[in-house]
Amino acid sequence: MTGTIINVVAILLGGLLGCVLGGRLPERLRQTVMAGLGLFTLAIGLQLFLGTQNSLVVLGSLLIGTLLGEWWQVEDGIRRFGGWLEQRIYSRQGKGADEQSSMEKEQRQSNRERFIRGFFTASLLFCIGPIAILGAIQDGLAGDYQLLAVKSVLDGFASLAFASSMGVGVLFSALPILVYQGGVSLLAAQIEPLVSEAMMNEMSATGGVILMAIAVSSLLEIKPIRSGNLLPALFVAPLLVALLTFLGVNWASLP
């Protein structure tokens, strides 16, 4: 889990620096930085999607994953967890709420929404992608954390930019990283024999579409998308490939 620990530290350091610098950065600069990150995320997502061997597999995974996500209310669960964290951290500010003016209550609600948005956006962005999975597997199997070290540098700079705009909630995205990547590293010996290259390719391509959804909804703010409810598609994609392979279907050559 060395690579995951490095990743968590990078996010915390970048986030702390972003929180310190946030108030000193002009709003125009912060907006431009967020737009730049949004465009970069969009480009990375498109690049990942173009690696698919059959776009119908990605489409099927997204449709099934979305149905499951809406049924399980994945996004609402993530946001509730972010709200719970925010309440734990700022619980003292909630005391005497009856004595607060309407302006103070509005500011409190604004800060709460900003915290949840920062936690939600950063958590999804840092957890999705082939590096998170491949790097965690390499780290768990051979102790090779080179991929996660590269990811840590990228996540550190991204958390700096996010925190300067979205606040302290970005720092708490280190928790899902610790659980997700750390869990994959610990289970790598059991997972590696079951995951083929084709399954990883389609999982990455599906993750690319989800990254584009995050860029459009959370970073560029073009259109609201419940991107959290797309997350089950990440797990549907490799299962769908495995099912088609088991049935003897040459899914890569399907129209």
CB under 8 A, 24+ apart: contacts of 142-150 = 143/2, 145/2, 145/3, 145/6, 147/3, 148/3, 148/4, 148/6, 148/7, 148/181, 149/3, 149/6
Give the pLDDT of residue 28.
Answer: 85
Domain count, the chain: 1
Return the higher-pLDDT residue of 153 and 101.
153
**Residue 70 belongs to a domain:** yes
Residue of 192 and 59 predicted with greater confidence:
59
Question: Is the residue at 248 inside a domain?
Answer: yes
Q: Is residue 99 part of a domain?
A: no
The residue range of the domain holding 71 is 2-94+104-253
- Note whether residue 25 is domain-resident: yes
Q: What is the pTM of this model?
A: 0.85
For residues 83 and 254, the model is more confident at 83
Tell me, what's the pLDDT at 45?
86
What's the pLDDT band for 142 if we cut at 50, 70, 90?
confident
Q: Answer yes or no: is pLDDT of 97 > 60.
A: no
163 occurs within a structural domain = yes
* Residue 214 within any structural domain of the chain: yes
Q: Rounded to an integer, what distance in angstroms lies between the CA atom of residue 178 and that of residue 237? A: 23
Q: Is 54 among the domain residues?
A: yes
In a domain, 212, yes or no: yes
